[in-house]
C-alpha cells in the first residue's frame, strides 16, 4: 500500500471516529508530535488522546483538504469540525456546547503499512477562542486581558528589567539588579553585533539577551572576572564566553562563592544577607570557549590585567578616547548599604588581595583615562587621575 493510501486510511478512520482503526495505522513506539504542545507515543498515547477527543466531540469529523506525497513523507492539510457536547472533558475542560471549526496540517513519515512519526501543526489559540477559553479577537474581554498582560510585563520589567544608556561611541551600559540597578554590564559594538563585557546577575538574563538582539545580537561574552554577580547571565546568553586564565577555574565552578571571601569582615547586618544574595545572583558554572590576556584586543579595546579584587580581574581600555571599563577594580557604592560614594578600593571581605587591588587602581590611574566605568554604580569622570589616586590610598 502506498504511503498516501495509509494517510487517507488514517483520516477515514478519524472521520468515522473509529479509534481502533486509527490506532492500527501507527507503528508501535511511533511519536505523534503536536508541535509546541505534547508528544503522543503509539499505540496507547494515540489511543488515549483520540478517545478523549471523540468523547468530548461525539460528532467530530475530519476532512482532507490537500495531500502532497514525497516518498515516505506525506503532508496532509485538513479541516476538523465538531461540537463540544461531551459527556467527556477535553484538556480538563467540561463540555460547554461550543462548536469547533479549525484547519491544520500533519506531516507524516510512513514506511511499510504504518505511520512511523508525525509532526502536527494547528492553531491552539484558535481552538481556545472557539471553545470560550480565550476571549474573541477585538472584544472588550481581550482588551482587558491585554492590559493585564502588559501590567504583568511592566511589573517584571521593574523587577528584572535593565536600563540601557549609550556612554560613548559604540558603547552602552546596561544597568540591572532590583531595586537599585547597580549591576553594570557593558555592550561594545562589534562587527554588526555586540561584545558583552561582564554578565551581571542571573535575573538580568532575559532582558539582557533581548537588549542585545536590538543591537544585532551577541558575538561573545568577556568576563571582567568570575564572581557570581559578574558571570550570572553568561551561562544562558548562548554565546562564546572568555575570561582571564586566572579566572578559568572559578568561572567553570558550580560554587557561587570564591574560597578567599570572608563574610566575617562584613557588618553584622550584612553577614546573613550576603550568602543568600550571592546564591540568588549566580547563574551557575560557565562553559568557557577561550581566554584573554593583557594586551589582547577586544572590539577596539585593549585588555588590562587588574588583579587584586580577583586574581584574574581585567579591564578594557580604548586609546582614542581613553575610555576605561574596569569591572570591580574599584567601587563607587557601599556593597552593604547600597549607598553610592566616591571611588574606593573594593571591600576586603571580597578581595583576593587588597594591597594588590590598590596597586591595580594605581596602574589604571597611570593610563590617564578620561572616564573609568566600574562593575557597579557610577563612573569616575572629571579629574579621574586624582580620584583614582585617592581611592588607592584611602582605608578599605
Cell of 94: 467540561
Is the separation of the CB atoms in 57 and 90 below 8 Å? yes
Nearest partner of 368 among 314, 333, 318, judged by Cα: 318
- Please tell me the distance from the alpha carbon of residue 329 to that of residue 346, in angstroms, as a whole number: 7
Q: What share of the chain is helix, strand, coil (3-state, %, to 5)?
A: 30, 30, 40
**In sequence order, which residues have a C-beta less than 8 Å from that of residue 140 and are 6 or more positions away?**
none
Query: Which pLDDT does position 159 carry in this prediction?
Result: 63
Cell of 327: 569591572
CATH class of the 3-134 domain in this structure: alpha beta
The pTM (predicted TM-score) of the whole model is 0.75
- Mean pLDDT, residues 263-277 taken together: 96
Cell of 310: 580577583
Per-residue confidence band for 180, with pLDDT thresholds at 50, 70 and 90: confident
Is the separation of the CB atoms in 186 and 375 below 8 Å? no
Query: Which pLDDT does position 148 carry in this prediction?
Result: 85
Cell of 27: 507503528
- Please tell me the distance from the alpha carbon of residue 223 to that of residue 298, in angstroms, as a whole number: 12
pLDDT at residue 246 greater than cutoff 90: yes
Q: Both ends of the chain: CA-CA distance in Å?
A: 83
- Mean pLDDT, residues 56-68 taken together: 97
Query: Which pLDDT does position 163 carry in this prediction?
Result: 86
- Mean pLDDT, residues 66-79 taken together: 97
Answer whether CATH 3.60.15.10 is correct for domain 155-393: yes
Q: Give per-residue pLDDT as tens, 285-308.
A: 999 999 999 999 999 999 999 999
Kindly report the average pLDDT of the chain as a whole number.
Answer: 95
Q: Give per-residue pLDDT as tens, 197-222.
A: 999 999 999 999 999 999 999 999 99
Per-residue confidence band for 29, with pLDDT thresholds at 50, 70 and 90: very high
Q: Give per-residue pLDDT as tens, 152-169.
A: 767 666 666 688 999 999
Query: Which pLDDT does position 145 carry in this prediction?
Result: 80
- Please tell me the distance from the alpha carbon of residue 289 to that of residue 198, in angstroms, as a whole number: 15
Intervals of CATH 3.10.450.50 along the chain: 3-134
Query: Which pLDDT does position 214 carry in this prediction?
Result: 93
- Please tell me the distance from the alpha carbon of residue 75 to that of residue 63, in angstroms, as a whole number: 14
Regarding beta strands 114-122 and 26-34, do their DSSP bridges make them parallel or antiparallel, or are they unpaired?
Answer: parallel
Q: Give per-residue pLDDT as tens, 222-242.
A: 999 999 999 999 999 999 999
Q: List, in sequence order, the alpha helices (H) in the chain.
A: 3-15, 19-23, 44-56, 124-130, 140-160, 205-214, 228-231, 248-251, 273-281, 354-366, 384-393
Burial degree of 386 (CB within 10 A; 0-12, 13-18, 19+):
exposed
Q: By percentage, how much of the chain surpasses pLDDT 70?
A: 98
Query: Which pLDDT does position 151 carry in this prediction?
Result: 81
- Please tell me the distance from the alpha carbon of residue 312 to that of residue 21, in angstroms, as a whole number: 67
Query: Which pLDDT does position 188 carry in this prediction?
Result: 98
Query: Which pLDDT does position 134 carry in this prediction?
Result: 86
The DSSP symbol for 376 reads B
pLDDT at residue 396 greater than cutoff 80: no
The DSSP symbol for 17 reads T
Cell of 158: 521593574
pLDDT at residue 363 greater than cutoff 70: yes
Intervals of CATH 3.60.15.10 along the chain: 155-393
Is the separation of the CB atoms in 217 and 194 below 8 Å? yes
Amino acid at each position: 500500500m502506498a504511503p498516501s493510501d495509509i494517510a487517507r486510511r488514517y483520516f477515514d478512520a478519524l472521520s468515522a471516529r473509529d479509534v481502533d482503526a486509527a490506532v492500527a495505522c501507527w507503528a508501535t513506539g511511533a511519536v505523534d508530535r503536536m508541535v509546541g504542545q505534547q508528544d503522543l507515543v503509539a499505540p496507547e498515547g494515540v489511543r488515549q488522546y483520540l478517545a478523549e477527543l471523540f468523547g468530548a466531540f461525539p460528532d467530530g469529523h475530519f476532512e482532507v483538504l490537500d495531500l502532497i506525497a514525497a516518498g515516505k513523507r506525506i503532508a496532509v492539510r485538513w479541516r476538523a469540525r465538531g461540537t463540544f457536547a461531551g459527556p467527556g472533558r477535553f484538556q480538563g475542560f467540561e463540555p460547554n456546547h461550543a462548536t469547533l471549526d479549525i484547519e491544520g496540517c500533519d506531516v507524516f513519515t510512513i514506511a511499510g503499512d504504518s505511520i512511523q512519526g508525525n509532526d502536527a501543526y494547528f492553531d491552539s489559540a484558535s481552538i481556545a477562542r472557539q471553545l470560550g477559553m480565550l476571549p474573541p479577537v477585538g472584544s472588550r474581554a481581550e482588551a482587558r486581558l491585554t492590559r493585564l498582560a502588559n501590567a504583568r510585563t511592566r511589573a517584571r520589567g521593574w523587577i528584572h528589567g535593565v536600563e540601557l544608556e549609550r556612554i560613548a561611541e559604540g558603547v552602552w551600559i546596561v544597568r540591572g539588579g532590583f531595586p537599585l540597578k547597580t549591576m553594570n554590564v557593558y555592550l561594545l559594538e562589534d562587527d554588526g553585533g555586540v561584545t558583552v563585557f561582564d554578565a551581571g546577575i542571573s535575573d538580568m538574563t532575559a532582558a539582557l539577551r533581548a537588549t542585545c538582539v536590538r543591537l544585532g545580537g551577541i558575538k561573545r561574552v568577556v568576563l571582567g572576572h568570575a564572581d557570581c554577580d559578574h558571570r550570572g547571565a553568561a551561562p544562558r546568553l548562548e554565546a562564546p564566553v572568555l575570561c582571564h586564565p586566572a579566572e578559568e577555574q572559578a568561572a567553570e565552578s558550580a560554587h557561587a562563592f570564591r574560597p578567599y571571601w570572608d563574610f566575617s569582615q562584613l557588618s553584622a547586618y550584612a553577614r546573613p544577607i550576603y550568602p543568600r544574595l550571592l546564591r540568588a545572583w549566580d547563574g551557575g558554572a560557565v562553559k568557557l570557549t577561550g581566554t584573554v590576556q593583557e594586551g589582547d584586543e577586544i572590539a577596539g579595546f585593549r585588555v588590562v590585567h587588574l588583579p587584586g579584587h580577583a586574581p584574574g580581574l581585567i579591564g578594557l581600555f580604548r586609546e582614542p578616547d581613553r575610555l576605561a571599563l574596569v569591572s570591580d577594580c574599584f567601587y563607587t557604592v557601599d556593597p552593604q548599604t547600597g549607598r553610592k560614594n566616591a571611588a574606593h578600593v573594593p571591600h576586603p571581605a571580597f578581595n583576593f588581595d587588597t594591597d594588590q587591588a590598590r596597586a591595580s587602581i594605581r596602574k589604571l590611574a597611570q593610563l590617564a583615562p578620561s572616564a573609568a566605568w566600574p562593575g557597579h554604580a557610577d563612573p569616575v569622570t572629571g579629574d579621574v587621575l586624582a580620584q583614582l589616586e585617592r581611592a588607592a590610598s584611602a582605608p578599605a
